[in-house]
Amino acid sequence: MLKIDHVNAGYGDLQVLFDVSLEVNEGEVVALVGSNGAGKSTLLDIISGFVPVLSGTVEFNGVDLSKVPDYKRTRMGIAHIPQGRGILNTITVEENLLVGSYVKSARASRAKNLKASYDRFPILYERRKQMAGSLSGGQQQMLAIARALMLEPKLIILDEPSLGLAPIIVEEVFDIIANVSKTGVSMLLIEQNLIQSLNVADRGYVLETGRIVMQGNAKELLANEEITKAYLGI
C-alpha cells in the first residue's frame, strides 16, 4: 500500500533522512520508533507531501506521489494526524469532526460517519458542543483519530499520539489505536514509546539519526534485548 524506497530528504543543507525504505501493507499497523530528532516527523511529512524528497520514491497503491500535491494525497486516502494532534481548539468537537469529512469522497457519508464516531467514542458525543480545546489531552487525541476516520482513510499516519499524556491515558490511546486497526484501516504509528507501540503493531522499524537500523516483526523486535535496552528510556 505505502512503499518508501531509498529516500533521502531534509531541509535545505540539512539532510535528515538517509536511504530510508519502509512499507506498510494493507491492513497492517507498522510502528516506527526512534528517539527525539531521529527524523520521524520528517518521514511522515514526506508521505503527506509537506517535505519533498531529494532522491528515492514514495508510492501509495502503486502511484508515485512525487507529482501529487499534499491535498490530493488526503483525497487518495492518507490521513495525517500531526504531532500535537492538529485539532482546531476554538471550534466545537462536532465542527472538528465535520471538518474531517470535507473531501468529496467522504462528504456523502458524513452523517453516517459522524454517528459512527459517536458510537465509537461516546464521550465525544457528550462533549460535541464544547470547544475542542476544553477537552483533556486524551480526549483530544481521541478526537484527532475520530476526525481522521471521518475521511474514510485507507492509511492513517499518526505522529506521537502518546506524547505529553499521563501513563493511564497513554494506555487508553493505544487501546483506541488497537481497536481502530481492527476495522482494517492501515496505520503507520510514529512513537518514542517503543514497548507500547510495538505491542499494537504487526511490524516495526527503528530509526536512528535518519537511518533505519533495524526492522522486523513487532514481537521479534520486542523480544530483542538489544533494542529494548537501548530504547527503554527514550
Ligand X SMILES: Nc1ncnc2c1ncn2[C@@H]1O[C@H](COP(=O)(O)OP(=O)(O)O)[C@@H](O)[C@H]1O
Binding site for Mg ion (CB under 5 A): 40-41, 83
Using DSSP, state whether 35 is helix, strand or coil: coil
Identify the helix (H) or strand (E) that includes residue 13: none
Q: Which of 24, 28, 42, 106 binds ligand X (CB under 6 A)?
A: 42
What proportions of the chain, in percent to the nearest 5, are helix, strand and coil?
Answer: 40, 30, 30
- Other CB atoms within a 10 A radius of the CB of residue 180 amount to 20
Looking up cell 530528504 gives 9
Cβ-based neighbours of 12, under 8 Å, separated by 6 or more: none
The span of 32-40, 63-71, 115-123, 146-154 binding ligand X (CB under 6 A) equals: 32-40
The span of 30-38, 54-62, 95-103, 108-116 binding ligand X (CB under 6 A) equals: 30-38
Looking up cell 524506497 gives 5
- Least CB distance to Mg ion at residue 219 (A): 25
> How far apart (Å, rounded) are the C-alpha atoms in residues 62 and 163?
32
Q: Please tell me whether residue 16 binds ligand X under the rule CB under 6 A.
A: yes
- Least CB distance to ligand X at residue 9 (A): 10
Q: Please tell me whether residue 100 binds ligand X under the rule CB under 6 A.
A: no
The span of 35-43, 71-79, 171-179, 214-222 binding ligand X (CB under 6 A) equals: 35-43
Q: Which of 22, 24, 38, 189 binds ligand X (CB under 6 A)?
A: 38
> How far apart (Å, rounded) are the C-alpha atoms in residues 61 and 154?
10
* Helix boundaries (H) for 30-166: 40-48, 70-75, 93-99, 104-107, 110-120, 122-126, 137-149
Taking CB within 5 to 8 Å according to partner kind, which of ligand X, Mg ion, none is near residue 164? none
Extract the C-alpha cell encoding 98: 465535520
The span of 36-44, 90-98, 120-128, 193-201 binding ligand X (CB under 6 A) equals: 36-44
Q: Which is nearer to Mg ion, 114 or 156 (CB)?
A: 156
- Least CB distance to ligand X at residue 207 (A): 7
Q: Which of 13, 14, 90, 167 binds ligand X (CB under 6 A)?
A: 14
Q: Which is nearer to ligand X, 114 or 158 (CB)?
A: 158
How many Å separate Cα 104 from the centre of its chain? 22
Q: Strand pairing of 211-217 and 203-208?
A: antiparallel
Q: Which is nearer to Mg ion, 41 or 224 (CB)?
A: 41
Q: Which of 6, 15, 37, 109 binds ligand X (CB under 6 A)?
A: 37
CA-based diameter of the chain, in Å? 49
Applying CB under 6 A, which residues contact ligand X?
11, 14, 16, 34, 36-42
